[in-house]
Amino acid sequence: MEKYLWMAGALPFIILGTIHLGYTFFSNKLTARDNQLNETMKASFPVLTKNTTMWKSWTGFNASHSTGAIYFGLVNVILPIQYPAALQNPLLQFINIVTVLFYVWLAKKYWFRIPFMGMLISFLCFLSAMLASA
C-alpha cells in the first residue's frame, strides 16, 4: 500500500510542474496584468549582473522551478517501482517529508489555492506511506 501512496504523493509535483512549465513558455499566465511592469522587467537588470534582465531571470526561475518539481515527482514514481526497499529508508522518508512541507509552506504563504491543495495532498500521501511502512 505504501508504494501506491508514495507514487500518489509524487503525482501533484508532476502534474503541477508540467502545467507550470507550459504556462512559463506557452501562455501569458505568468506575466503581470500591468504591461508596463512587464516592459520594465524586460529593461531592468538585477544588482548581481547586467548579463541578464529581470524578465529573463523571471522566466528562468519559473522554468527551473517547474523542472525541479517534475524531477522530484518522477524520481518518487520511479523509486517505488524500481527500488521498493528504498521506501523503508528513514533518511529518504525524512527528506521527502521536509521537502513537501517546504512546498506546502511556500504554497500557503506565496502562491494560491490550487498549488496549496496539491502540495497538501502530496504531503498527506507521503506521510501515510511513511506511517504504513512503519
What string of DSSP letters covers the chain?
Answer: -HHHHHHHHHHHHHHHHHHHHHHHHH-STTS-S-HHHHHHHHH---TT-SSS-HHHHHHHHHHHHHHHHHHHHHHHHHHHHH-GGGGG-HHHHHHHHHHHHHHHHHHHHHS-HHHHHHHHHHHHHHHHHHHHH-
What average pLDDT does this structure show over 96-112?
96
Q: What is the pLDDT of residues 64-98, one digit of tens each?
A: 999 999 999 999 999 999 999 998 999 999 999 99
Q: What is the pLDDT of residues 23-52, one digit of tens each?
A: 999 999 999 999 999 999 999 999 999 999
